[in-house]
Amino acid sequence: MTKQDFHKPKTVEDAIALLREAGEDARPISGGATLVALMNARLVQPSRLVSLSAIEELTQCTHQPDGSVRIGAMRRHRQTAFESDLKAAHQVVSCAASQIANPPVRNMGTIGGSISFADPAADYPPSLVAANAEIEIAGPEGRRCIPAEEFFLGWYETALEPGEIVTAVILPPMPASSIGHYEKLCRVAGDFALASVAVTIDFDDNNTVSSLRLAVGGCGGGPVRVAAAEDTLIGTELETDAITAAAELLVAELDPVDDVRGSAEYRLKVVPRLLQRTFNNLVDIREPAQ
Ligand SMILES: Cc1cc2nc3c(=O)[nH]c(=O)nc-3n(C[C@H](O)[C@H](O)[C@H](O)COP(=O)(O)OP(=O)(O)OC[C@H]3O[C@@H](n4cnc5c(N)ncnc54)[C@H](O)[C@@H]3O)c2cc1C
Phi, psi of 268 (to 5 degrees): -65, -30
249 Cα to the center of ligand 1, angstroms:
32
- We report the CATH number of the domain holding residue 142 as 3.30.465.10
Calculate the CA 92 to chain-centre distance. Answer: 9
182 Cα to the center of ligand 1, angstroms:
19
Do 66 and 101 share a domain, yes or no? yes
What domain range includes position 118?
56-171
- Mean pLDDT (whole number) for 149-154: 96
H or E stretch covering 252: helix 240-253
151 Cα to the center of ligand 1, angstroms:
16
Rounded to whole angstroms, how far apart are CA atoms 135 and 170? 6
Do 158 and 222 share a domain, yes or no? no
The single-letter DSSP state of residue 172 is P
Do 91 and 145 share a domain, yes or no? yes
Q: Is there a domain that residue 254 lies in?
A: yes
Q: Is there a domain that residue 23 lies in?
A: no
Do 61 and 166 share a domain, yes or no? yes
The single-letter DSSP state of residue 121 is T
Rounded to whole angstroms, how far apart are CA atoms 278 and 68? 25
Q: Identify the residue whose C-alpha is closest to ligand 1 atom 19.
A: 109
pLDDT reading at 290 higher than 60:
no
Cβ–Cβ < 8 Å for 93, 124: yes
Do 191 and 143 share a domain, yes or no? no
pLDDT of residue 3: 54
Rounded to whole angstroms, how far apart are CA atoms 81 and 96? 8
Rounded to whole angstroms, how far apart are CA atoms 9 and 27? 13
210 Cα to the center of ligand 1, angstroms:
35
Average pLDDT value for the chain: 94
Cβ–Cβ < 8 Å for 120, 220: yes
Do 203 and 155 share a domain, yes or no? no
Write out pLDDT tens, residues 60-89.
999 999 999 999 999 999 999 999 899 999
pLDDT reading at 275 higher than 70:
yes
| End-of-domain residue from the set 141, 171, 201 | 171
88 Cα to the center of ligand 1, angstroms:
26
pLDDT reading at 203 higher than 90:
yes
Q: Is there a domain that residue 186 lies in?
A: yes
DSSP 129-167: HHTT-EEEEEETTEEEEEEHHHHEEETTEESPPTT-EEE
CB of residue 196 inside a 6 A radius of ligand 1: no
- We report the CATH number of the domain holding residue 270 as 3.30.390.50
| End-of-domain residue from the set 150, 171, 192 | 171
Question: What is the tally of structural domains in the chain?
Answer: 2
Distances (CA, A) of 89 to 6, 121, 141, 199: 39, 22, 33, 8
Do 66 and 155 share a domain, yes or no? yes
Cβ–Cβ < 8 Å for 8, 51: yes
Do 162 and 188 share a domain, yes or no? no
Cβ–Cβ < 8 Å for 215, 226: no
pLDDT reading at 24 higher than 90:
no
Rounded to whole angstroms, how far apart are CA atoms 48 and 103? 29
Distances (CA, A) of 255 to 195, 226, 252, 262: 12, 13, 8, 14
Q: Is there a domain that residue 121 lies in?
A: yes
Write out pLDDT tens, residues 76-129.
999 999 998 999 999 999 999 999 999 999 999 999 999 999 999 999 999 999
Q: Is there a domain that residue 222 lies in?
A: yes
CB of residue 238 inside a 6 A radius of ligand 1: no
CB of residue 101 inside a 6 A radius of ligand 1: yes
Angle, vertex CA 215, rays to CA 209 and CA 216, nearest 5 = 130
Atom of ligand 1 nearest to the CA of 164: 43
CB of residue 254 inside a 6 A radius of ligand 1: no
Residue type, 165: I
